[in-house]
Chain A
Amino acid sequence: MTSTPNATNWTGALRRSAERALPPEKLLPESQPSYVASWIYVFGALTMAALGIIIATGFVLAIMGPTWWHHSSTGHFINSMHLWSVELFFAFMVIHLWGKFFMAAWRGNRVLTWASGVVTFVISIATAFTGYLSQTNYDSQWIATQAKDGINATGGGALFNVLNFGQMLMWHITLLPLGVGILVVLHVLLVRHRGVVPPFAETKDGAK
Chain B
Amino acid sequence: MRGISTAPFRLHALVNLNHPNHFLQWGWLSISRSNAIVVGLMVVTFMAAVAIPFPGHGDADQEEVR
Q: Do A and B come from one complex?
A: yes
Give the bracket for the number of chain A residues in contact with chain B: 20 to 34
Contact B38 A91, beta carbon cutoff 8 Å: yes
- Residues of B within 8 A of A (CB-CB), count: 21
Q: Which residues of A contact B49 (CB under 8 A)?
A: 38-40, 42-43, 95, 99
Q: Using known A-B contacts A76-B8, A95-B42, determine if residue A39 contacts B65 with beta carbons closer than 8 Å.
A: no
A-B CB pair tally, cutoff 8 Å: 50
Q: Determine the distance from Cα of A193 to Cα of B5 in the docked complex, in whole angstroms.
A: 51
Chain A positions 10 through 42: 1 when the CB is less than 8 Å from some CB of chain B, otherwise 0: 000000000000000000000111101111101
- Of chain B, the residue at the smallest CB distance from A33 is B65
Is A59 engaged at the interface, CB distance under 8 Å to the other chain? no
Assuming the contacts A73-B5, A73-B7, asked whether A38 and B50 have C-beta atoms less than 8 A apart, the reply is yes
Known: A37-B57, A76-B8. A99 touches B66 (CB 8 A): no
Question: Does any Cβ of A come within 8 Å of B48's Cβ?
Answer: yes
**Chain B contacts for A48, CB-based, 8 A:** none
- Asked if B62 is an interface residue, CB under 8 A from chain A, the answer is yes
Q: Identify which of A31, A76, A95 contacts B66 (C-beta below 8 A).
A: A31
Given contacts A95-B49, A98-B46, A39 and B54 within 8 Å (CB-CB): yes
Check if A72 is an interface residue, CB within 8 A of chain B. yes
- Max chain A Cβ within 10 angstroms of own Cβ: one of B42, B48, B56: B42
Partner of A94, one of B5, B42, B50: B42
Check B65–A95 contact: CB distance below 8 A: no
With a CB–CB cut-off of 8 A, which chain B residues contact A38? Answer: 49-50, 54
Residues of B within 8 A of A95 (CB): 42, 45-46, 49
Does B17 belong to the interface (CB within 8 Å)?
no
Contacts A71-B4, A72-B5 supplied; 13 other A-B pairs, CB < 8 Å: A34-B63, A37-B54, A38-B54, A39-B50, A39-B52, A71-B5, A72-B4, A91-B45, A95-B42, A95-B45, A99-B46, A99-B49, A99-B50
Which 4 pairs, one residue from A and one from B, show the smallest C-beta to C-beta distance? A37-B57, A39-B49, A76-B8, A37-B54
Interchain residue pairs with CB less than 8 A apart (17): A32-B65, A32-B66, A34-B62, A37-B57, A37-B66, A38-B50, A39-B48, A39-B50, A40-B50, A42-B49, A43-B49, A71-B4, A73-B5, A95-B42, A95-B45, A98-B46, A99-B50
Measured CB to CB, the residues of B under 8 A from A are 4-5, 7-8, 38, 41-42, 45-46, 48-50, 52, 54, 56-57, 62-66
